[in-house]
């Protein structure tokens, strides 16, 4: 609840134009990209700088007002749904690239910077920021950092965590701290930078970030390998890695996903294939040529019925863009799209894909699967209708079983989308009670009054694993 007095204090900080408690204003921020989650905030606030964020937090802490930091709201775990009301904190004024340092190979950004703007800005200087979530045209750096987002280039280059080397963070009580810096090495105390990355707005508010850049790869090549059988495609993923080749991108798409993407993008994807691998390598010309030759041979030996190499940059771009559009394409099929990101060791990809298909058949629901096969990170995606209660019940049971299977295969309940409110009931499956207790102790130390994105990560009721011994 925001009292009249608190409202007055908040408006004094940001000005009336940056505080909105109208019904219409609140409604816009009552949901995010996650289906099935909606809850009204008490107000929306848009600070202009770190000092204002600090003053807002001090007030919220004193009056125990929940704060939900929000980038573009594209998370898929209910992470920005204000499930306990309070203030939604926007970064629309804090959206500048502050510096690209070509000597130290770093960029310093505010949280509201759009990821693709950042990628383009550094590429114009011959530098490269690899994390490339498919949502990068709209997602923000603050959101990427707090979800530890990955992307198509994750296999070779890693995820957001591997590039964040320094942060400015406002703590729950309003204190401002700086972690890390433009440093290649820094072991002064605990690694708080890593702790905040992926913390989903529950430990502090990121107001500035220093990210590491690398030289832009000289060249890249893209190919599509087509398979008549999903197992052969999955085996090829393991074979490529076992041959000690790490492609920049190694994506898997099953036939239902291919059909939907082709209908959406119309670029001539091979819709008659049962599965496709989209493979990209980048780097110096001769190394790319050597790796792609080897990869092509491995695909053919692994029963690919055809291997097609993109002939031009435009063709390669169209292929990766089509893959990036998978969720948007699938979302056209039915009113509700539930995209998950169960992750397993790469060697278990074939088993996981098979299990997903069996589970979909068992519960009589439609699941398309695509994802970052090289990372073992699959996106089983169910197209359904939230109004069909019977089907929604089956969808929920099916996903619970998918998470169990992922854990049984040595995997996890989320590879890049975070826990938020959606996966909170499943976290104990992965961490056990003791793991949850350790994380709760950290949360209590950083946020003793539980004002930072409350109701996320930790569930009131955990879902138990149905199968405990296998």
Ligand X SMILES: Cc1cc2nc3c(=O)[nH]c(=O)nc-3n(C[C@H](O)[C@H](O)[C@H](O)COP(=O)(O)OP(=O)(O)OC[C@H]3O[C@@H](n4cnc5c(N)ncnc54)[C@H](O)[C@@H]3O)c2cc1C
Which residues bind to ligand X, rule: CB under 6 A? Answer: 32-33, 68-76, 79-80, 91, 111, 133-135, 139-140, 142-144, 146-147, 149-151, 200-201, 205-206, 327-328, 416-417, 453
Closer to ligand X by CB, 79 or 247: give it. Answer: 79
- To ligand X, the closest distance from the beta carbon of 6 in angstroms equals 21
CA dist., res. 420 & res. 443, Å (int): 14
CA dist., res. 330 & res. 270, Å (int): 17
- To ligand X, the closest distance from the beta carbon of 325 in angstroms equals 8
Closer to ligand X by CB, 69 or 130: give it. Answer: 69
- To ligand X, the closest distance from the beta carbon of 149 in angstroms equals 3
- To ligand X, the closest distance from the beta carbon of 468 in angstroms equals 30
CA dist., res. 31 & res. 84, Å (int): 12
Closer to ligand X by CB, 74 or 281: give it. Answer: 74
Three-state secondary structure readout of 90-147 = ECCCCCCEEEEECCCCEEEECCCCEHHHHHHHHHCCCEECCCCCCCCCCCEHHHHHHH
Hey, what are 442's tokens? 């950290």
CA dist., res. 456 & res. 200, Å (int): 8
- To ligand X, the closest distance from the beta carbon of 316 in angstroms equals 18
Closer to ligand X by CB, 142 or 217: give it. Answer: 142
Closer to ligand X by CB, 208 or 291: give it. Answer: 208
- To ligand X, the closest distance from the beta carbon of 216 in angstroms equals 21
183: left (phi over 0), alpha (psi -120 to 50) or beta: beta
CA dist., res. 42 & res. 12, Å (int): 17
H-run or E-run covering 309: strand 304-309
Closer to ligand X by CB, 196 or 363: give it. Answer: 196
Contact between residue 281 and residue 223 where contact means Cβ atoms under 8 Å apart = no
- To ligand X, the closest distance from the beta carbon of 284 in angstroms equals 27
Burial class (CB in 10 A: 0-12, 13-18, 19+), 293: exposed
Closer to ligand X by CB, 30 or 328: give it. Answer: 328
Q: For residue 88, give every residue at least 6 positions away whose Cβ sits within 8 Å of its Cβ, in sequence order, or none.
A: 29, 41, 43, 44, 45, 68, 70, 80, 82
Helix (H, G, I), strand (E, B) or coil at 276: strand
- To ligand X, the closest distance from the beta carbon of 96 in angstroms equals 14
H-run or E-run covering 372: strand 367-372
- To ligand X, the closest distance from the beta carbon of 221 in angstroms equals 21
304: left (phi over 0), alpha (psi -120 to 50) or beta: beta
Closer to ligand X by CB, 201 or 247: give it. Answer: 201
Beta bridge partners of 214: 128
- To ligand X, the closest distance from the beta carbon of 32 in angstroms equals 6
- To ligand X, the closest distance from the beta carbon of 422 in angstroms equals 11
Closer to ligand X by CB, 145 or 310: give it. Answer: 145
Closer to ligand X by CB, 106 or 135: give it. Answer: 135
CA dist., res. 127 & res. 81, Å (int): 35
* Among 85, 94, 59, 80, CA closest to 172: 59
CA dist., res. 274 & res. 357, Å (int): 13
CA dist., res. 64 & res. 223, Å (int): 54
Cβ-proximal residue to ligand X, closest one: 143
Closer to ligand X by CB, 133 or 302: give it. Answer: 133
- To ligand X, the closest distance from the beta carbon of 93 in angstroms equals 12
In angstroms and rounded to an integer, the radius of gyration of the C-alpha atoms of the chain is 22
Closer to ligand X by CB, 205 or 429: give it. Answer: 205
Q: How many residues does the chain have?
A: 470
CA atoms within 13 A on the CB side of 214: 12
Alpha helices by DSSP H, 173-311: 192-196, 230-242, 255-265, 285-301
């Amino acid at each position: 609840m925001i009292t009249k007095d608190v409202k007055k204090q908040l408006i004094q900080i940001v000005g009336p134009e940056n505080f909105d408690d109208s019904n219409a204003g609140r409604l816009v921020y009552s949901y995010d990209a996650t289906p099935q989650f909606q809850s009204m905030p008490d107000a929306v606030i848009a600070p202009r700088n770190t000092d204002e964020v600090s003053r807002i937090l001090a007030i919220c802490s004193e009056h125990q007002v929940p704060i939900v930091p929000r980038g573009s709201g594209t998370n898929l775990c209910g992470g920005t749904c204000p499930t306990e009301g309070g203030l939604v904190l926007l970064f629309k004024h804090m959206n500048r690239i502050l510096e690209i340092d070509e000597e130290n190979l770093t960029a310093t950004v505010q949280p509201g910077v759009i990821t693709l703007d950042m990628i383009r800005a550094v590429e114009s200087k011959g530098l490269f920021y690899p994390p490339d979530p498919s949502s990068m045209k709209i997602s923000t750096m603050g959101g990427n950092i707090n979800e530890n987002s990955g992307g198509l280039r994750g296999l070779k280059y890693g995820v957001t965590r591997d590039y964040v080397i320094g942060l400015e963070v406002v703590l729950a009580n309003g204190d401002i701290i700086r972690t890390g810096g433009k440093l290649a090495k820094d072991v002064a105390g605990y690694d708080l930078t890593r702790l905040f990355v992926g913390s989903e707005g529950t430990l502090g508010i990121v107001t500035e970030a220093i990210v590491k850049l690398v030289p832009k790869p000289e060249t890249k090549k893209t190919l599509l390998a087509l398979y008549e059988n999903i197992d052969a495609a999955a085996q090829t993923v393991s074979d490529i890695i076992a041959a000690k080749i790490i492609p920049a991108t190694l994506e898997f798409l099953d036939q239902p996903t291919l059909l939907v993407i082709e209908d959406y993008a119309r670029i001539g994807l091979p819709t008659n294939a049962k599965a496709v691998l989209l493979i990209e390598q980048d780097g110096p010309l001769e190394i790319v040529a050597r790796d792609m030759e080897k990869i092509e041979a491995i695909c053919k030996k692994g029963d690919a019925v055809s291997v097609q190499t993109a002939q031009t940059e435009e063709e390669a771009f169209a292929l990766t863009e089509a893959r990036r559009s998978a969720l948007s394409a699938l979302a056209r099929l039915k009113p509700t799209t539930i995209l998950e990101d169960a992750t397993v060791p790469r060697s278990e990809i074939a088993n996981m894909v098979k299990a997903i298909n069996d589970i979909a058949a068992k519960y009589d629901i439609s699941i398309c699967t695509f994802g970052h096969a090289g990372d073992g990170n699959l996106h089983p995606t169910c197209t359904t209708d939230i109004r069909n209660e019977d089907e929604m019940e089956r969808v929920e049971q099916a996903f619970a079983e998918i998470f169990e299977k992922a854990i049984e295969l040595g995997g996890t309940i989320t590879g890049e989308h975070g826990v938020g409110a959606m996966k909170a009931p499943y976290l104990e499956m992965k961490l056990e009670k003791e793991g949850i207790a350790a994380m709760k102790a950290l949360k209590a130390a950083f946020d003793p009054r539980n004002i930072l994105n409350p109701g996320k990560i930790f569930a009131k009721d955990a879902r138990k694993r149905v199968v405990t011994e296998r």
